[in-house]
Amino acid sequence: MIKMALQKDLHGSEGLMTLSVKQSVNRGDFIVIMGESGAGKSTLLRMLAGLEAAKGFVEVDGEVWQDEKNRLPIQQRSVGFVFQDFALFDNMSVKENLTFVSPDNPLAEELLEIMEIEKLRDRSVLLLSGGQKQRVALARALMRRPKLLLMDEPLSSLDPRMRHKLSEKIKELHERFGMTTLMVSHDVAEAKRLATRLWFVENAEVTEYPLDYLESLEYG
């Protein structure tokens, strides 16, 4: 169980605003976060990860990640983060990107196999395609066996065929590792495939919508 009540002042698409989120998340939820560009979706993920300072509190399975007095850095939070731009280590091979996070070699090999990139383990990430890089980024995010997986539009730069294939991989990994996942997306079909819950960031607040609301977005 994750409990959060966070606030942060930021400059959004309509000027200065105070982003506010007060939500609870159950273990195993897959929450897709949608909303207009500049609404604060990425900032929400970064606040949860500890990458950006914010007021309020975050509690995960009884462990306080943030309160009025303390804020744990990302290294002390059980979080895996997949960035939109991959953020891989260019001077390392595929496998080295994974084992840099954790020296758990059996887990690294398991993830390489799941992501179907085991034959690329010794290749420089500079020589990979966009889809291959995103698979490495996903695998790397799981090397700490995180309680919470955060993904910021992880598939937005890929072609439709690869997006669909990797979204199925994301679903498989989410279920296989028993994680709680929050993912920012603008893609309605992607949200329909993956989400068990749907959040919208609008008017500087996070509001939950029923999943069938996605039907109105796809055909509206």
Domain boundaries, the chain: 88-137
Neighbours of 4 (CB within 10 A): 21
104-132 residue pLDDT tens: 999 999 999 999 999 999 999 999 998 89
Do 140 and 97 contact (CB within 8 A), yes or no? yes
User: Which regions in the chain score pLDDT beneath 50?
Assistant: 220
pTM score of the predicted model: 0.91
Note the pLDDT of residue 219.
56
Residue 10 tokens read as 């930021």
Note the pLDDT of residue 121.
95
- 20-53: b (≥16 Cβ within 10 Å) or e: bbebebeeebbbbbbbeeebbbbbbbbbbbbbee
Residues 6+ apart with CB under 8 A from 220: none
Nearest Cα to Cα of residue 138 among 104, 178, 172: 172
181-212 residue pLDDT tens: 999 998 898 999 999 999 999 888 999 999 99
Note the pLDDT of residue 13.
63
Angstrom distance (rounded) from CA 99 to CA 119:
16
